[in-house]
Amino acid sequence: MYKLHHQAAEKFQWYKSWHERRHTELIHWVLLLLVIILFTFGLLSLGKFQVFEDVRSQELDTISPSAPSNLVATVTSPYIVDLSWTGSTDNVALKGYDVMRTNTYCASWRYYTRIAVTSETTYHDYVDQNSCYEYYIRAVDTSGNVSANSNTVSVYTPKAPRKSTPPPTPTPTPITNPDITAPTVPTALSASALDYNSVLVSWRGSTDDYGIMRYKIYIGDNTLSSYAINANYLLDETSYTYSYLVDQIPLATRDYRITALDEAGNESEKSNSVSATTPGREGYGSMTGTVYSNLGGVIAGSGLTGGATVTVSKGSFKKTGGTGPDGSYYIDSVPVDTYTVVVSSSGYASERSEVTIQNKTVITADFTLTKR
């Protein structure tokens, strides 16, 4: 009996010990699971907080990059200008640089256009020979903040030397598959006056089987007084639209047409014609008219030489215009006032009169000179 009781007591003690161990292990597993849950929740919370901080920092980035500096422009050939500058810094991240250029600084006005976007601190620009250009650089960060402009530099490209003509060969090598196909006609031509002395001409580009080399802008009706410009154009690659800023005079209406030329020199037909009128300049007027001979007809010239000259003057102000092939003259940008006008031509007696220039108005005054 005692033996049975002793065995029962040992079994009970073993069961109690096993139960306590299982209870302790369960508590350990529960605690471990709790630690894992808390750790995972903490990581997620930290990640969410970090994402929130990143988004908030992007939303609140209104600080512009530092301005590029030490811009240098070097003319390496009549057709190439190399630019280099010291880079910018930004509080978040720098996206790149806008390369800004005028079409010319030889005129009294400035018209800057972004010609390129680059992540480098150098740029290789292709330009026209015998031309003037002005540049500056600005930095842009990933939030779109734009820096102040860098220093401005100006360059003049020299005129390219003429190539010597090689001596003719007695048996020229025949050209296989010569390019005789002209480009397509430029389309969507438009012209709008931006100021009293500039007109922006834009058009859709042409296509060609070998490639477009350049465009010509025809101003006028292609008579003796019209002329063409071979230009360095600005291209919007998104819409494939070219543009060029044409120097003009105030209060003038001009017609514009475009042609395209390929590498072989084939020229397309002229585009449709559009016109634009430049506004008057505040405080200034213009003067135009025709100079006739008392013997009949007009006194024609080239506008610079020959023909007749018309000079308006008062005090230290003096401005002269010459007659063109049709005997007409045009004097622009004359300050509003009353002036003495002297008309002269070789072999004719001069004529003197007075004229009052009105604000933003073209005064018409014809003259007839008497042959000596």
In this predicted structure, which of 71-75, 84-88, 166-170, 277-281 has the lowest mean pLDDT?
A: 166-170
Find the largest Cα–Cα distance for the chain: 167
| For residue 139, pLDDT beyond 90 | yes
Q: Which of 102, 104, 122, 128 is nearest to 113 (CA)?
A: 102
> Looking at the predicted structure, is the pLDDT value of residue 173 above 60?
no
Average pLDDT over residues 296-324: 85
Mean pLDDT of the chain: 77
- The pLDDT tens digits for 263-277 are 777 889 999 999 988
144 vs 18, more confident: 144
Q: What's the pLDDT tens digit per position in 190-247? A: 988 888 878 888 888 888 877 777 788 888 754 333 444 445 555 554 555 777 677 6
Domains of the chain (ranges; CATH) run 69-157 (2.60.40.10), 189-277 (2.60.40.10), 284-371 (2.60.40.10)
Q: Give the pairing of strands 351-357 and 337-345.
A: antiparallel
Band of residue 31 on the pLDDT scale cut at 50, 70, 90: confident
| pLDDT over 50 at 288, yes or no | yes
pLDDT at 59: 60
Compute how many other C-beta atoms are within 10 angstroms of the C-beta atom of residue 193.
Answer: 19
Identify which has the larger pLDDT, 239 or 125. 125
* pLDDT class of 303 with cuts at 50, 70, 90: low
Q: To 10 degrees, the CA torsion angle through 31, 32, 34, 35?
A: 120
C-alpha to C-alpha distance for 282 and 279, rounded to whole angstroms:
9
Listed residue (234, 216, 65, 255) closest to 150, CA to CA:
65
- Say whether pTM exceeds 0.85: no
Buried residues in 292-314 as b, exposed as e (16+ CB within 10 A): bbeeeebbbbebeeebbbbbbee
pLDDT score for 225: 39
pLDDT band, residue 185 (cuts 50/70/90)? very high
Instruction: Output the six-digit token pair for 284.
Output: 């200034």
Tell me if 326 sits within 8 A of 220, measured CB to CB. no
Q: Give the range among 17-26, 185-194, 223-232, 357-366 with minimum mean pLDDT.
A: 223-232
- Strands, sheet with 94-102, edge to edge from the N-terminal-most edge strand: 112-118, 94-102, 131-141, 153-157
Containing 137, the helix (H) or strand (E) segment is strand 131-141
pLDDT at 353 over 60: yes
Following DSSP, what letter does each residue of 141-159 receive, concatenated?
ETT--BPPP---EEEEEPP
